Structure 1
Amino acid sequence: MRLPTSSPRMPFRSGRRTNDNAGEFETFLEGWIVRQEHYLEELLSAQHNCHESRDDDLNDLISRVLSHYQHWFTSLERTFLWITGFKPGLTFRLVTNSVDDLSEDQTRRMNRLFEETKAEERILSNELATVQESIAASPMMHLARLTGRPVNGEVRDEEAVMKSLRSAMESVVARADNLRMKTTRKVVEILSPVQNVKFLTAATQLQLSFRSWGLQRDSKGASNE
Structure 2
Amino acid sequence: MNMAKFTTFYQGWLSRQEDFLRQLDSLLSGPDRDRECSDIIPRVIAHYREFYREKAAAVEEDVFLSISPPWMTSFELSLLWVSGFRPSILFPIMDGALAAADLSPAQRRRIDKVKAESRRREREITQAMARVQETVAEPPVYGLVKKFGGGGAVVEMEAAVEKVKAAMRGVVENADALQGWTLAEVVEALDPVQGVRFLAAVTRFQLRARRFGVERDG
TM-score w.r.t. length of structure 1: 0.80
| Number of positions where the alignment pairs a residue of Structure 1 with one of Structure 2 | 195
Q: Give the Cα–Cα distance (whole angstroms) in 2 for the partners of residues 106 and 44 of structure 1.
A: 23
Which residue identity lines up with residue 127 of structure 1 in the other structure?
Answer: A
Give per-residue Cα distances to partners, 1:113-135, cap 9 Å, x unaligned: 11111110111111100000101
Please say if residues 135 and 141 of structure 2, whose CA atoms lie closer than 8 Å, have aligned partners that are also in contact: no
- Range that drifts further, 186-195 or 135-144: 135-144
Which residue identity lines up with residue 133 of structure 2 in the other structure?
Answer: Q
1:62 aligns with 2:41: yes
More helix by share: 2
The aligned residue for residue 128 of structure 1 is 129
Give per-residue Cα distances to partners, 1:155-188, cap 9 Å, x unaligned: 1112111111110100010011111111111111
TM-score w.r.t. length of structure 2: 0.82
Please say if residues 131 and 165 of structure 1, whose CA atoms lie closer than 8 Å, have aligned partners that are also in contact: yes
Q: Give the Cα–Cα distance (whole angstroms) in 1 for the partners of residues 96 and 153 of structure 2.
A: 54
Q: Give the Cα–Cα distance (whole angstroms) in 2 for the partners of residues 214 and 77 of structure 1.
A: 23
Deviation, 1:69, is 1.4
Q: Give the Cα–Cα distance (whole angstroms) in 1 for the partners of residues 29 and 58 of structure 2.
A: 33
What's the Cα RMSD here? Answer: 1.9
Deviation, 1:59, is 1.5
Which residue identity lines up with residue 24 of structure 2 in the other structure?
Answer: L
The aligned residue for residue 14 of structure 2 is 33
Unaligned runs of 5+ in 2: 68-81
Among the aligned pairs, what percent are the same residue?
36
Alpha-carbon distance change, 138 to 63 in structure 1, aligned in 2, over 3 angstroms: farther
- Range that drifts further, 84-93 or 164-173: 84-93
Q: Give the Cα–Cα distance (whole angstroms) in 1 for the partners of residues 167 and 213 of structure 2.
A: 29
1:191 aligns with 2:193: no
